[in-house]
Amino acid sequence: MIAEDSPRAVQVADLSVDLGGRLVLRGIDLRIRQGEVVAVLGTNGSGKSTLIKTVVGLLPAARGEVRLFGTPVPRFREWRRVGYVPQRITAAGGVPATVYEVVSSGLLSKRRMFRPLGAAGKQSIEEALEVVDMADRRKDAVAELSGGQQQRVLIARALVSDPDLLVLDEPTAGVDLASQQIFADAIRERVARGTTVVMVSHDLGPMDALIDRTVVMRRGRIVYDGPPHSSQTHAHVHHSHTSEEDPGWMTP
Amino acid sequence: MTMFQLEFMQRALIAGLLTGLSAPAIGTYLVQRRLSLMGDGIGHIAITGVALGLLTGWAPVLTAVLVSIAGATAIELVRARGKATGDVALALMFYGGIAGGVLLIGLAGQGAATLNTYLFGSLTTVSQSDLYVVVGLAVTVLVVAIGLGPQLFAVCQDEEFARTTGLRVQLLNLVIAVMAAVTVTVAMRTVGLLLVSALMVVPVATAQQITRSFRSTFVTACLIGVAACLAGIVTSYNANVAPGATIVVLALAGFVVAATVGTLLRRRSGRARPLADEEPEIGVPAPEPHVVSPGHPHAHAPECGHKKVEHGDHVDYVHDGHLHAAHGDHWDEH
């Protein structure tokens, strides 16, 4: 179990976030200790992705603040301690790029400008590719990979800087089961080394067993914060059996 | 006397070599960021810069650099603010650039012939002082494009991720915009302002047909750019036409060849290496239609007392005279 006094990786205090004039987060308070594995759950539009993006400094706080390892995000400089996996459909840009090239951009938080990549950097790229089982695809263009493989490349990019805090936005959405398993193994290995993990998810799948704590969001507020229970892993919605005239619905 | 002994041709070829290198170098980043037409916009704005130079008597290369850097910065800031009208703002700037240029040239009393040398390039007009400026600017662009390669790659590939690595994304975006502006000015004398964007985009598009990595696309695009520029200048001398047009036509011809070769290569490697088998993606609905019980609070279990019926690979439960079967997180009517 995680000790009560272990230092905080993420500290969110009275956070409100405004997106185009609409309050998407309203007064969020959240403390995540180092070594915790937290899943942020909620329906579409509940604000969970907004929360994650504000934590890594991609969105500004309208009120309140976010601290990473004790430092307010606008002043935070130790970005090498943070690995971020954005939610996305494709890892490809307008020009072809190889798996190796995309993963190597994860090392930029450690690199100085106008300096070539050192031997240590190359070594960590190889290790990150091994962890997600993509080492044999390193010279392939990311655009030619499947969705699950692309997602694995993005995980490798986040892992390559050996972060203390891993922030994942919908890491398993649209990912094949084989990739999800590889993915869960990679996260498990990080967790064993004491990495803090915060992930947004609809459906935890193979990640399920790793979670220490779930935070459920609804309409920009936290409505549950505590140990995970089984009903959350499948995003259940229970209806009563009373509306007898409802004939049930057909799925194609 | 061959054309290579003519001084103006030597200057034109040096300018062409540097243009061929720097335009695709910065163009690779623009294409990766899906801003292929940015060069075009800056080219239009630079017309005002050239006209300002002709009007004031300053070197047009200098005024063009300053005005296009200002324009590129403005475009980048509008883009970064993410305004819904950013697209329209860019269009306004493009039209303003070309209209301002024509207006100022008219005021300067110089005719269409002078403007034409800037719009479509001209071999004879690269002066010695022009050449020094062009060499200086092109070398700067190449040093930045190669030296900051990893950082610029990350910003163009995934801006959000780049920000979480602590990179100063806004600054790097401005660097790209300013480099694009400088490149436009470098290319002004050889390809001309209206076609400079083609030299930023076409070699990159050509290289992509046969490459897989960013680095090889970058290098191949630069080689194609140099080849098109040098061949275009030589052809332009022999045929006595504007170099811009010949360079771009040659570059496009290269694209057609590369696209054909690339398609054939991919078809061959596609046959040699079939797609790897993968597990089906989860979340795909089952192919056969099924009726979902409209909300069912009771979870059936072997010990719940409802009668059990073996049904293929699963067990159905008899409930109020009909069958319930477990399916994911809900119950189906069977």
Give A217-232 pLDDT, tens digit per residue.
Answer: 998 999 989 888 766 6
B interface test, pick of A73, A95, A145 with most B CB neighbours within 10 Å: A95
Q: Which of B329, B273, B193, B233 is nearest to B6 (CA)?
A: B233
- Tell me which DSSP letter residue B281 carries: B
pLDDT higher at B332 or A34: A34
Nearest residue of chain A to residue B215 (CA atoms): A97
CATH number corresponding to B3-197: 1.10.3470.10
Name the band, by pLDDT with cuts 50, 70 and 90, for residue A157.
Answer: very high
A10: closest CA of chain B, how far (Å)? 15
B163 contacts in chain A (CB < 8 Å): 57-58
Check if the beta carbon of residue B84 is closer than 8 Å to that of residue B152: no
Chain B residue numbers touching A241 (CB-CB < 8 A): 293-298
pLDDT at position A171: 81
Structure tokens at A30: 């959240």
pLDDT value at residue B84: 45
> Chain B partners of A95 at a C-beta cutoff of 8 Å?
28, 31-32, 204, 208, 214, 217
- Interface contacts (A, B; CB < 8 Å): 158
Q: Which residue has the higher pLDDT, A157 or B295?
A: A157
- Are residues A109 and B161, on separate chains, in Cβ contact within 8 Å? no
User: Which pLDDT tens digit goes with each residue over A74-95?
Assistant: 899 889 899 999 887 565 678 8
Provide the shortest C-alpha distance from residue A161 to chain B (in Å). 9
Q: In terms of DSSP bridges, do strands A22-33 and A8-19 run parallel, antiparallel, or are they unpaired?
A: antiparallel
Residue of B nearest to A244 (CA): B294
Q: Residue A246: what pLDDT?
A: 42
Q: What's the CATH superfamily of A8-227?
A: P-loop containing nucleotide triphosphate hydrolases (3.40.50.300)
Strands A37-42 and A213-218: parallel
Helix (H, G, I), strand (E, B) or coil at A72: strand
CA distance B143 to B161: 25
pLDDT of residue A166: 92
The model carries a pTM of 0.80
| Domain span(s) for CATH 1.10.3470.10 in chain B | 3-197
Q: What CA–CA distance (Å, rounded) separates A182 from B294?
A: 36
Angle B223-B177-A75 from CA coordinates, rounded to 5°:
120
**pLDDT value of residue A237:** 40
Residue-wise pLDDT tens digits, A118-140: 888 888 899 899 888 888 998 99
The residue whose two tokens read 């400088």 is: B182
Q: What is the C-alpha separation between A241 and B2, in angstroms, rounded? A: 94
Q: Cβ contact (<8 Å) for B328 and A148?
A: no
What is the rounded CA–CA span in Å between residue A34 and residue A171?
Answer: 20
Is A96–B290 a contact, with Cβ atoms under 8 angstroms apart? no
Residue-level pLDDT at B225: 94
Cβ-contact B123, B242 below 8 angstroms: no
**Strand pairing partners for B311?**
B314
Which residue of A lies nearest to B327 if distances are taken between CA atoms? A234
Instruction: Please give the Cα distance from A14 to A29 (Å, whole number).
Output: 5
The pLDDT score that the predictor gives to residue B22 is: 93
* Domain residue spans of chain A: 8-227
pLDDT string in tens for chain B (334-residue length)? 577 888 888 888 998 999 999 999 999 999 998 888 888 888 889 989 988 988 888 888 888 989 999 988 888 887 777 654 556 767 877 888 889 888 888 888 777 777 888 888 887 777 888 888 889 989 999 999 999 999 999 999 888 899 999 899 989 989 998 999 999 888 888 888 888 889 999 999 999 998 989 999 999 999 999 999 999 999 988 988 888 889 999 999 999 999 999 888 878 876 655 555 444 445 555 555 556 666 666 666 666 767 777 666 667 777 766 677 776 666 677 6
Q: Average pLDDT in the A49-68 region?
A: 91
Instruction: Identify the burial level of A22 via C-beta atoms within 10 angstroms of its C-beta, where 0-12 means exposed, 13-18 middle and 19 or more buried.
Output: exposed
pLDDT, residue B105, reads 84
Which range of A57-66, A201-210, A238-247 scores highest in mean pLDDT? It is A57-66
Above 70 in pLDDT, residue A208?
yes
User: Which pLDDT belongs to residue B215?
Assistant: 93
Does the pLDDT value for residue A1 go beyond 60? no
